[in-house]
Chain A
């Protein structure tokens, strides 16, 4: 027999009927039910199959502690895997499926696997399937064990907001201790944030009841909530504070009925942890049978949902907290008997039911379902066995924050020890068991020195007598139900030397399941203590890490997904590019046109040709525009750059490298001198932030910051580059107001003028090897300039130029892209730029490292070109050149860029090759994946080696 719902009582809304199904069977529940309470009310016993042995499993708990109730839920066309039945609200239309079971939990086809369990100890699969490789067996073994199945079509919306909050006092838990503390603090004028994972205040009062300050606890709780709100505080229900992070940050997951969940990032002045305690199981043979349940959970199902766990109920306990449960179930009509490990106690004396003293279960009887209890010689018929092995304080957040623990022999539990400046623990979490004690502890923790509200409690005894796992017990006694770990597995771990709890955890996976050992860790470490002859505090606990409960990843990711995960920087002219059918892609953080037109390959080819034959127009706005201003500007740039900058004349520009202090090329760029004391560093678009920070670092830590100033104006200016033999014609035709001397600028010269009342900067800088003009205007003038220039393209046979064509054009000229054609070992002389290191005597960043034995070694990888047959395919980028070495291949470098050159009509490639410049003319073998190639080492400059076209 199994659970059923009473005809009245409980907090569910009996007016609404919710239809759902479990493993294909239609069932119903009420609004306010959890999936677990509805399953129990519908008489479901087996809710799933165990992870490893496929044993039948039923509900053990009623909330976050439950190890067994894991289900896949399809709703609204989407399946969410591995939801916890005990905390998941029932919704009309849910299709609930058990996990690790097929076709149903009750009729699982692997249910006989457990018969061979003696051959499947901890670590069995990993130890057995080692030859020839684990990976060969893994898929089939994984299919046998495991939890829910992912729905590939279910991509949750990125709609979870992240809320930042501050408060004087954060109270975690709205049970008696939390409410008393929050109320006391609010009464003193503090701003309190009270969070609780249930949907109403009260904590365990909701099912254990009580009288506070002379009336029903609900009146007092209601008054506490209004006191908190009146003082400017907030109360959040269905909100789980799941982790404490550095510097007191508390993260909480807030579930909402209307609207998506939220992640709360709370910065409290102080935190009070009043998270209560979790009931522990008892350990005996087959204690995982469906029908064995936490006594407290049974009371919770009864009071909140009016669901009775069974008809013939045995209650087994080692403490007084189970007696109210027994009494309540008897009153609800169940046939209840009690087993108690103790000889006598206050609660036992007052109990009206039959109590077997000095007795605890030694085995659960029944195969798929519980039929009785064996306790030594005693045999009890029962369909349900409620157990209470004592209480474990919920001190997870205290441990996250770094708080200490001590073992309390009287309570047989780990309790918070010592103090922390910004956190306290109160109530059952602090070992203050019982309503009066919890209330007083919370009241004082809230800062009220006066007397706590009086409670009208019957008795407040706890009187636990520890009942830890017995390593000598017969049969298989479960410690971790979700990870399928038994007492014998713990003994095996100890025998094999895994005696530390951290080793025990990893060897047996004890406590590593989604419940994170809320009910199993204490039993596990107690078993290890007993097996190894140590005391419990000597064994200690494993590390507590966030999150306290599994938090859905969409909540943590929030809205930072898709485009918002790493938003690209957008061009002022993006609209113009889209009108011209640009294919937009991300380059160095910017969304830029790859090409213009529907057919990418054809467009790239045409654009590259047009730039060589006529004119191409490129939106080069992301190019760095870092202004360096002041009397020490030239000195700062001399130090920053490999090439000397101070000798640059006003109105001229110079190509420079920037090195790390290890001598590695960090970036390249063009430095323009607009005035004696004003420069613009036009570095590569992807390195702007980095170059700016380097400049700032030297400025602040080496120079007089009052004599040089850095201003990154990259985002303020748009830059449009006209490149090609007809670039001058384009400017002349479309910008007639442009002064003559601007058109006549020499290569690497720069001038400032104006156009339509907007400032205009023109620089003769070329990334293609062709005559080029870079026109920079404030963003507000960009569209007008772009429109005028594009209007003149057609007549000249020119076109817009995307990034892909530009990449080919610069590769034809052997212009490296730093970070693509160079790597973390490339020094300037590897690129053939030896002038400054030979000539400069002054200090500059990275100089010293250019003179180490490594930097001057004879086997450096140098930038070269690679030529293949005209009819061959371009070499794969990343292909390695190699030299035969003792029957193996030794890499001598690799291809960094490779294209089919439209202008040359043959493949071109750049590569970093060991001693490359000495190999000019040499044919080297290359390999990529399984294919081999041959190429001739050439100069990196494949097109116009004499540089005649810059002024063509």
Chain B
């Protein structure tokens, strides 16, 4: 059972969280001008890096989305920050 740090609530068990998206993956817009392949890439292609990974997670208990940096091999969590524009 992993412990994830919510920037607002602190360390909580992983069952309180959901993965949302890989961080830094912006929705391509205007979407109408994105090619079919481009949209498919946005939808279905993930980097799934081995090792350090920046991801958006949501803490279901408080409903806040945040950026978590963790290692997908060792499961070490090295960072947790609110989305830009959000403060603690």
Contacts and interface: CB of A to CB of B under 8 A. Distances in A.
Interface of A: 245-247, 249, 265, 267, 402, 661-662, 692-693, 696-697, 700-702, 704-705, 710, 843, 847-849, 851-853
19 contacts: A245-B1, A246-B1, A246-B14, A246-B75, A249-B1, A265-B1, A267-B3, A693-B58, A693-B63, A704-B85, A705-B85, A710-B63, A843-B29, A847-B31, A847-B32, A848-B39, A851-B32, A852-B39, A852-B40
B83 interface: yes
B65 A700 contact: yes
A402 B56 CA distance: 27
B81 interface: no
A875 B65 CA distance: 46
Interface in B9-40: 14, 18, 20, 27, 29-32, 34, 36, 39-40
B64 A700 contact: yes
B58 A696 contact: yes
Chain B interface residue bracket vs A:
20 to 34
Contacts of B40: 852
Interface of B: 1-3, 14, 18, 20, 27, 29-32, 34, 36, 39-40, 42-43, 56, 58, 60, 63-65, 74-75, 83, 85-86
Nearest to A696: B63
Contacts of A847: 31-32
A461 B87 CA distance: 63
B61 to A, nearest CB: 12
Q: Closest 9 CB pairs between A and B?
A: A848-B31, A246-B2, A249-B1, A247-B3, A700-B65, A247-B2, A848-B39, A852-B36, A696-B63
A312 B6 CA distance: 67
A634 B14 CA distance: 34
Given A247-B75, A853-B36, A705 B86 contact: yes
Nearest to A848: B31
Given A246-B75, A705-B85, A843-B29, A697 B2 contact: no
B18 A693 contact: yes
A852 B39 CA distance: 9
Contacts of B3: 247, 267
Nearest to B76: A247
Contacts of A700: 64-65, 83, 86
A700 B27 CA distance: 14
A692 B61 CA distance: 12
A843 B30 contact: yes
Contacts of B56: 701
Q: Which has the most chain B C-beta neighbours within 10 Å: A701, A705, A843? A: A701
A265 B86 CA distance: 34
A697 B58 CA distance: 8
Nearest to A248: B3
Nearest to B77: A247
B16 to A, nearest CB: 13
A697 B65 contact: yes
A701 B83 contact: yes
Nearest to A402: B74
A267 B58 CA distance: 23
Nearest to B2: A246
Contacts of A246: 1-2, 14, 75
Nearest to A695: B63
B31 A843 contact: yes
B70 to A, nearest CB: 11
A701 B58 CA distance: 11
A705 B42 CA distance: 24
A847 B28 CA distance: 12
A849 B75 contact: no
Given A661-B43, A700-B83, A843-B31, 10 more contacts: A246-B2, A246-B75, A661-B42, A692-B63, A693-B18, A700-B86, A701-B56, A843-B29, A849-B39, A849-B43
Contacts of A265: 1
A696 B42 CA distance: 20
A847 B43 CA distance: 13
B15 to A, nearest CB: 12
Nearest to A662: B43
Nearest to A854: B36
A710 B1 CA distance: 30
A247 B70 CA distance: 12
Contacts of A710: 63
A848 B32 contact: yes
Contacts of B27: 661, 702
Contact of B20 (A247, A697, A704, A852): A697
B17 to A, nearest CB: 12
A851 B43 CA distance: 14
A696 B18 CA distance: 13
